[in-house]
Structure 1
């Protein structure tokens, strides 16, 4: 498919030009939304338009043809898709541009990536108990629901929380049990509060949200700002112990993986690791195979959550090795 420049593509989408996407091997709704809207969180718009073809948004298949719907400007603004209205050109006054400080890694990426910890260390604050209106099976952005906490529990209008699900237990050959993967499904905002129950709105979601999902306060680790990557002299090696996507799916940049090195090993947010695979030929050790790079988003005691920055091969898998090659510095 011929790539169209961002503004032109958005003009087509916002003003009713019908577009279709033929699914290729390795595509996800997240990736498709990122391509057409420059915002992967808009994946729900594609899913809603093609629900007759998509039974489960986690599973789409090569050869399927999806309509890429137009998104009205007011809706585009809600989910962060830029809208560029045509206006008369006027001379721009000279201004002094103040550059805001840049984080080492994006806060939203950290939140959506999830983390690994032991269940006993992560106590849910609340539970999602119903939908508004009742009977909605899959919740996504700007739909409403109820949680089982209210003013008696300190909840106030405007409060923000994370919705999460507890995933599988993760083990390491070196360290044994690392805990469970806590999958972050999205953010919610409190709209109205009674003594024991609050009405909430789903903010842009990272995945589908359901009744009985758990709620926790938003907590971000300390993120360094205005830094650069430099070569590291620290010697840290580890293995990939978990992929958030199926092993059968092609691994792409920005996929989340877990490695079995954490705070106790000296890992820090922003650290850059290369991914490699050892190889032997007839019992003789051969040069290692370079597979790509990953960067650390969140660090726990025994493990770290990372995102894939680059890949040279599509078969990166659990068990591949990583070693520290870069770190952030002022």
Structure 2
């Protein structure tokens, strides 16, 4: 089956101060690339750019073109154009494309992702972070058949307060530790332990649901949230227009350190102007320790160190998920994430 590949597009103008840094090509970049099934835009970008996330800039798309993007098919040739002294990527004209003609029998609008979807899909489809309002509005399991303590795949349970019987699929979760903003000290969200999925089998008060997938054992008192179908978006990487100053709140998996491909939680979200596709630079605040002549220890702050990039792919009101796409050292809780 032929899949249509949609190029990442972003309106980035040369006059924008945030985009003033010239694009840098890799050493000895290829003059062209043939698009194949399985390509990711991040991967293709890395063949040409030292900063792959700046792919949209090298396409030089304007705002009108964003609404009607060019479609790239497997077999098309992406050409690196240096004719005006500034690198530009474009699709080769038919006479430049030496490959055999192809017939596209189906026009399936399946966009190629910026990053591998299997890495981020669980973080889109499962409620791994729950904000206070969601927790307050969540439905809870009130009973299990024959007063069983635990249920699993194929078992039924009962819940009250399901407002819309048209919602058939539900997530089951258990609230975890609170996530506190290090600046305000306030709890901005809770981690959630994903337990499984359920389907509404009989509306009523209480309603009957059946467990369709159990990652862990489920019990009375656990929480339910609607489970919409996950949407894998062709994310557009771009710099934030406004200043962003975020902090790494946690690293998924309960570990103390992370690295490339780790998912982290940031203490900024929609309310702070963060949006899907934002790319942030990671910084480490450093302190140098020395011992004076009297044997006393003193700490001296030294310039912070930039060491990586984070790609925001899911945004809540006060927190967001970001994928570490580049890191020269371990990511730790408390590190800063700001405009690149």
Q: Could you tell me which residue of structure 2 aligns to residue 148 of structure 1?
A: 159
- Distance in 2, matches of 1:97 and 1:252, equals 40
Q: What does 1:10-49 align with in structure 2 at a 5 Å threshold? A: none
Q: What does 1:290-309 align with in structure 2 at a 5 Å threshold? A: 290-309=306-325
Q: Measured at CA, do residues 189 and 132 of structure 1 come closer, stay the same or move farther in structure 2, by a change above 3 Å?
A: farther
Confirm whether residue 244 of structure 1 aligns to residue 252 of structure 2.
yes
Q: Could you tell me which residue of structure 2 aligns to residue 200 of structure 1?
A: 210
Task: Specify which of 280, 300, 323 is matched with residue 338 of structure 2.
Answer: 323
- Distance in 2, matches of 1:261 and 1:149, equals 33
- Distance in 2, matches of 1:99 and 1:312, equals 38
RMSD: 3.8
Is the Cα contact below 8 Å between 2:174 and 2:195 reproduced in 1?
no
Q: Could you tell me which residue of structure 1 aligns to residue 274 of structure 2?
A: 267
- Distance in 2, matches of 1:292 and 1:176, equals 26
CA positional deviation for 1:194: 5.6
CA positional deviation for 1:307: 3.3
TM-score by length of 2: 0.53
Is the Cα contact below 8 Å between 1:275 and 1:293 reproduced in 2?
yes
- Distance in 1, matches of 2:200 and 2:180, equals 40
- Distance in 2, matches of 1:307 and 1:226, equals 15
Matched residue of 2:125: which SS?
Answer: helix
CA positional deviation for 1:268: 0.7
Q: Measured at CA, do residues 178 and 161 of structure 1 come closer, stay the same or move farther in structure 2, by a change above 3 Å?
A: same
1:246-272 CA deviation, whole Å, 9 max, x = no partner?
344x52544432212222321112212
Q: Could you tell me which residue of structure 1 aligns to residue 186 of structure 2?
A: 177
- Distance in 1, matches of 2:286 and 2:237, equals 29
TM-score by length of 1: 0.54
- Distance in 2, matches of 1:289 and 1:118, equals 34
Q: Could you tell me which residue of structure 1 aligns to residue 218 of structure 2?
A: 210
Bigger shift: residues 234-243 or 224-233:
224-233
Q: Which has the larger radius of gyration?
A: 2
Is the Cα contact below 8 Å between 2:139 and 2:159 reproduced in 1?
no
- Unaligned residue ranges in structure 2 (runs of 5+): 1-101, 291-298
> How many residue pairs end up in the alignment?
223
Q: Could you tell me which residue of structure 2 aligns to residue 190 of structure 1?
A: 199
- Distance in 2, matches of 1:208 and 1:254, equals 25
Confirm whether residue 161 of structure 1 aligns to residue 176 of structure 2.
no
Is the Cα contact below 8 Å between 1:290 and 1:312 reproduced in 2?
no
Q: Could you tell me which residue of structure 2 aligns to residue 110 of structure 1?
A: 124
Q: Measured at CA, do residues 253 and 159 of structure 1 come closer, stay the same or move farther in structure 2, by a change above 3 Å?
A: farther
- Distance in 2, matches of 1:244 and 1:214, equals 20
Q: Could you tell me which residue of structure 2 aligns to residue 55 of structure 1?
A: none
Is the Cα contact below 8 Å between 2:239 and 2:280 reproduced in 1?
no
